[in-house]
């Protein structure tokens, strides 16, 4: 089957601390744990945590591998389009769960939302725009 708009997307990235990542993404943002696996000390396996909204066509896969250090840049940005103001309660919850509010490298995201760093240093943008009114990016 070719890739279509209905194809599921997995965003995979390393994590230093899966418990801290789960605390942020599940407790802070409100994603669900979709799957987890532990390596049980086997060298051919990794500790793994998949989080997302069960009805979404994407999920985030976080992998702990002591030999791989997360290396996020300021432009690695998953964006959640809320279509409304970013609730202060959500920002406070994300910060209480290990996130840190930061200024975006691109001022567009400061105008149209809020940027939060997760415990691994990856950024998450919560946009006040909706996907349908986000183009063109002006």
The answer regarding whether domain 9-133 maps to CATH 3.10.180.10 reads yes
Q: Which residue has the tokens 């349908």?
A: 132
pTM as predicted: 0.89
Model pLDDT, residue 134: 62
* 30-74 tens-digit pLDDT: 999 999 999 877 777 789 999 999 999 999 999 998 888 899 899
Model pLDDT, residue 26: 98
């Amino acid at each position: 089957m070719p890739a279509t708009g209905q194809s599921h997307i997995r965003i995979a990235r390393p994590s230093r601390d899966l418990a801290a990542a789960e605390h942020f993404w599940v407790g802070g943002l409100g994603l669900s744990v979709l799957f987890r696996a532990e390596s049980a000390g086997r060298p051919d396996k990794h500790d793994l945590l998949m989080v997302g909204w069960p009805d979404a066509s994407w999920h985030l896969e976080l992998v702990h591998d002591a030999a791989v250090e997360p290396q996020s840049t300021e432009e690695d940005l998953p964006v959640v389009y809320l279509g409304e103001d970013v609730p202060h309660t959500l920002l406070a919850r994300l910060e209480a769960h290990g996130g840190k509010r930061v200024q975006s490298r691109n001022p567009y995201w400061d105008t149209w939302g809020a940027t939060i760093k997760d415990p691994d240093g990856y950024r998450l943008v919560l946009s006040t725009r909706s996907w349908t009114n986000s183009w063109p990016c002006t």
